Structure 1
Amino acid sequence: MMEMEIGQRLRLVRTRANLSQRQLAAKTGVTNSTISLIEAGHTNPSVGALKRILDGIPIGLSEFFAIEATPEPSPFYAAEDLVEIGKGKISFRQVGQDMAGSTLQILKERYAPGADTGRVPLVHDGEEGGVVISGRLEVTVDDERRILGPGDAYRFSSRRPHRFRAVGSEPCEVISACTPPTF
């Protein structure tokens, strides 16, 4: 087991709680600069100060110190490491295994000729965008519809009703990203 410093633990639990240093400082009355110094390993807090900071997350001292260090995942993925999360005539190959705690999802999409995301438009929180690599993709956002070819791109708020459909006789490939992860 790798030993984790207090600053590393604090950064880990703060980011898991989706809090910025400023947000945590505002919730706890501990200055942003103090939280930054602790996370950088430049200072160690007193037990009382640490308890006050952790109450803002919230997490107890025993749970905080029970967290075991896990190595950061590799930032690189071979083509065979992409995780298939699609089905049928649409392949969604995701970069990375577990999206828990992630704010970004990247997909390599492949649509068989004529494949689409369904008659009912998709609507969800966040933003998404993509670049067509090959083939042609019809993208509908609200009442606006475009057919995109290689090199063309899209980006929009995912709260706007949208759908995708491959047009033409060849498959369509797209590299896309959405935040937060949708699937």
Structure 2
Amino acid sequence: MAVAPAETSDGFTRQVGERLHAIRRARGYSLDELAALTGVSKGTLSQIETGGTNPTLGVLWRICDGLGLPFASMLGEGRVEGGTVVRKGDSAVIRSSEGELASRPLTPERALGDTEIYELHLAARSTHVADAHAPGTREGIIVVAGVVRIRAGSATYDLGSGDTLSFAADVPHSYENPGRTDARMYNVIVYGRR
């Protein structure tokens, strides 16, 4: 399955672990308290903090949602006065637990305020299910290649190359690729209140 061109690096794993540890310590949480807040086990949190495991998309989302942080906050600052440049080879690809979805952040934390942009690759004939985001959060999808079916709450949207969609992402939602080839899309997330 050719989902994305790059794998998550050890440097990325270490960076996420260091960021999580710093955020947890700054807020005064124990691992037990953070586990209760995020729904991620204490053991998994400890392994992430020490760089012992690559966190999946789902785990990172649960951590960020539990802490009330934008997803990119786990990926580092990356801001430059006056502008922000993200080079293609500089951002790590983050995979879902099943490997069907690969996400590459295109904007560092807070570069666009409460908006983040990702390049997504979804394997052929696969589905990725996402939990509801914070209240008021919206997503935009721009399909670049392939076909994608988005389910958000009780609504279903079928999209092809060149199609766009905006939807409420504060409900459980999913990305499905019913096609025979991988799909590529851009995902714009605009966070609601935290």
Secondary structure of the residue aligned to 2:141 is strand
Alpha-carbon distance, 1:72 to partner? 2.5
Superposed counterparts of 1:53-132, under 5 Å = 71-72=80-81, 74-87=83-96, 88-98=99-109, 102-118=113-129, 122-125=131-134, 126-132=137-143
Matched-pair contact (CA < 8 Å) for 2:148–2:177: yes
Amino acid at match of 1:105: E
Deviation string, structure 1 residues 16-75 (Cα, Å, up to 9, x no partner): xxxxxxxxxxxxxxxxxxxxxxxxxxxxxxxxxxxxxxxxxxxxxxxxxxxxxx952852
Give the TM-score of the pair, scaled to structure 2: 0.50
2:185 to 162, 174, 178: 174
Separation in 2, partners of 1:144, 1:103: 25
Alpha-carbon distance, 1:97 to partner? 4.2
What is the count of residue pairs matched by the alignment? 110
Q: Which residue number corresponds to residue 29 of structure 1?
A: none
Query: RMSD over aligned Cα, in angstroms?
Result: 2.6
Amino acid at match of 1:151: G
| 1:141 partnered with 2:155 | no
* Structure 1: gaps of 5 or more residues: 1-69
Matched-pair contact (CA < 8 Å) for 1:83–1:97: no
Amino acid at match of 1:137: V
Separation in 1, partners of 2:86, 2:131: 28
Separation in 2, partners of 1:73, 1:161: 36
Secondary structure of the residue aligned to 2:126 is coil
Q: Which residue number corresponds to residue 164 of structure 2?
A: 153
Alpha-carbon distance, 1:142 to partner? 2.0
Matched-pair contact (CA < 8 Å) for 2:152–2:168: no
Alpha-carbon distance, 1:168 to partner? 0.9
Alpha-carbon distance, 1:108 to partner? 0.2
Report the CA distance shift for 1:153/1:101 in structure 2 as closer, same or farther (over 3 A): closer
Matched-pair contact (CA < 8 Å) for 2:84–2:111: no
Secondary structure of the residue aligned to 1:80 is helix
Separation in 1, partners of 2:141, 2:161: 11
Matched-pair contact (CA < 8 Å) for 1:122–1:162: yes
Separation in 1, partners of 2:154, 2:80: 46
Matched-pair contact (CA < 8 Å) for 2:143–2:164: yes
Identity among equivalent positions (%) equals 19
Alpha-carbon distance, 1:157 to partner? 1.7
* Structure 2: gaps of 5 or more residues: 1-78
Alpha-carbon distance, 1:89 to partner? 1.7
Give the TM-score of the pair, scaled to structure 1: 0.52
Alpha-carbon distance, 1:129 to partner? 0.6
Report the CA distance shift for 1:99/1:144 in structure 2 as closer, same or farther (over 3 A): same
